[in-house]
Amino acid sequence: MSGLSRRHLLVGTGATAGLAFLSSRLEWAAAATGNPFTLGVASGDPLSDRVIIWTRLAVDPFAVASPGGMGTAPVDVAWEVAKDSGFASVVRSGTATTTAAGGYAAHVDVTGLAAGTAYYYRFHTRSGTTTYTSPVGVTRTAPAPGTKPASLKFLTASCARYDEGYYHAYQAMAEDRPDLILFLGDYIYEYPTETGAIRPLRSIPKIAGPDSRGSAYVDTLVEYRMRHAEHKTDKQLQAAHAAAPWLVVYDDHEVRNNWYAENTADTTLDRKQAAFQAWYENMPVRMAPPAAGSIASYRRVPWGTLARFDMLDTRQYRDKQAGALACSVIDDAGRTLVGNAQEKWLLDGFKDHTPQWNLIGQQVFFSPKQNSTNHCDVNTDAWDGYRPERDAVANGWVAAGVRNPVVLTGDVHRHYAANVCRTSNLNDPIGAELITTSISSTGIRGTEGDPNISASPDVLYGKNWRGYIRCTVTASALTADFRCVDDVNKASYADVRVFTDRTFVVQDGARRLTPA
């Protein structure tokens, strides 16, 4: 990946003409004209021989009459994957058809690639006599099965509320040149722009929807598409997507704050279908499109024998959250956060000892964390609200002999480092948890620690910075750097400081964090 220049991270190759492999079908007949690659490119879900490459055509990202202002007819997109940034050595190419029903998104599963290899990719399409070429992205395949790479560098991020700050963390992530990026939920927010916003959201034409909180909330397919487009047009986010493949999961704000499995007046089946459809259209994921308000999103991604990522869904199957201090509900063994089928899938996976590091990518705080000395004063939206199931998962990896379980978490808008313990013993670590702060959500609210940490001896660190976590995995250890951005209110990336506030290490076999 050393051949990737800053120009390729930030700037497309512009309009070109005369590409011989383009057919006359690569055109659109919409009234709008101009570059349709306004939302950038992305890649994701890498395996040892394939990877998803993505783009979504939008000459007008905020059009209401048709997705991206592209009209109604299918539009073909040509794609190329090469070993070099100049595309002199193209190894795979083809054509994908995009449609209005699919938001003019292209999800190309590029197969037949070499394992453990970096590639460059781009897209082309044409309007009239003008051929447009997308920005160039870099992606990477996973190592071959049975092989162990010397190292793996991945980043974790979450919670990117557009109107609460600039996306400087995304820019820093792009410049870190990781092998992989995990996004752990809240890619968008369904909220209206807040009073005094750092960068106000554009007005979205309101279409009648189910949200009881008012007409300014996003709740229909057109609105979700437009909210995603607002994020996707951000150049710093585009840079992070173009820098490495992503593993993406959703949390609550991609649909509705704190939603759960039951269909309600605010979270109707139609709303879920709209939200999932827009999320799918905008993410570089290998999965079937949603149907009937449901999407199958939990999945495994191996990284040779060094590591494996188990990406969870902690929203779609969960029981309703308990009320405050509701001990009898919190401790009800019949309640679930991930659903019976997903829990079995996760526990069965622990029996496979191929990966040296089991990395669990998910959304909400896993470790026990109390707000006071009251045993039931907890965040009931997190695993603390479903304690028996949390213990069942932790007991499952202990019983299976998982050597290095590490939970990777987002959601709470603060950096945290925690040792995973069972409810009955907060002084007996059996794993590690790394909780990434937000990209921008909650904006600048000081850099203080969490005053409630004293009630949770398993929680070692907490700070209110914005940023992400950088993890380096080897056979001997996982090292986690808590990366921070000092000011998301400043518009210029040149005016902010990006730094590592703390570093923690999980030594091979230790199943606990220690300060570096």
Residue 195: which pLDDT band, with cuts at 50, 70 and 90? confident
Rg of the Cα trace of the chain? Answer: 22
Q: What is the mean predicted confidence (pLDDT) over 95-111?
A: 96
What integer pLDDT is reported at residue 451 of this predicted model? 76
Residue 412 has pLDDT above 50, yes or no: yes
User: Which pLDDT does position 31 carry in this prediction?
Assistant: 55
Give the distance, in angstroms, between the CA of residue 56 and the centroid of all CA atoms in the same chain. Answer: 17
- Looking at residue 122, what is its pLDDT? 98
Is 36:72 a contact under the CB 8 Å cutoff?
A: no
Look at 58-72, 80-94, 381-395 and tell me which has the smallest mean pLDDT: 58-72
Helix axis angle, 340-350 to 387-399, nearest 10°: 20
Residue 93: what residue type?
A: S
Domain definitions of the chain by residue range: 6-140, 152-515
The CA distance from 155 to 158, in Å, is 10
Q: What confidence score (pLDDT) does residue 21 get?
A: 47
Task: State phi, psi for 57 to the nearest 5 degrees.
Answer: -75, 135
Place of tokens 């060094």: 306
Structure tokens at 262: 């039951």
Cα(357)–Cα(404) distance, rounded to whole angstroms?
5
Q: What is the pLDDT of residues 455-479, one digit of tens each?
A: 899 999 999 999 999 999 999 999 9
Q: What are the Cα distances from residue 476, in Å, to 153, 359, 453, 510, 514?
A: 14, 15, 29, 10, 14
Q: Specify the 3-state DSSP secondary structure of 363.
A: coil
> What CATH number has the domain spanning 152-515?
3.60.21.70
Which is the CATH superfamily of the domain at 6-140?
Purple acid phosphatase-like, N-terminal (2.60.40.380)
Under 8 Å between Cβ of 489 and 198? yes
- Average pLDDT on 138-152 reads 98
pLDDT confidence of 205, banded at 50, 70, 90?
confident
Tell how far CA 206 is from the center of its chain: 27
* pLDDT tens digits for range 82-93: 999 999 999 999
User: What percentage of the chain has pLDDT greater than the value 90?
Assistant: 83
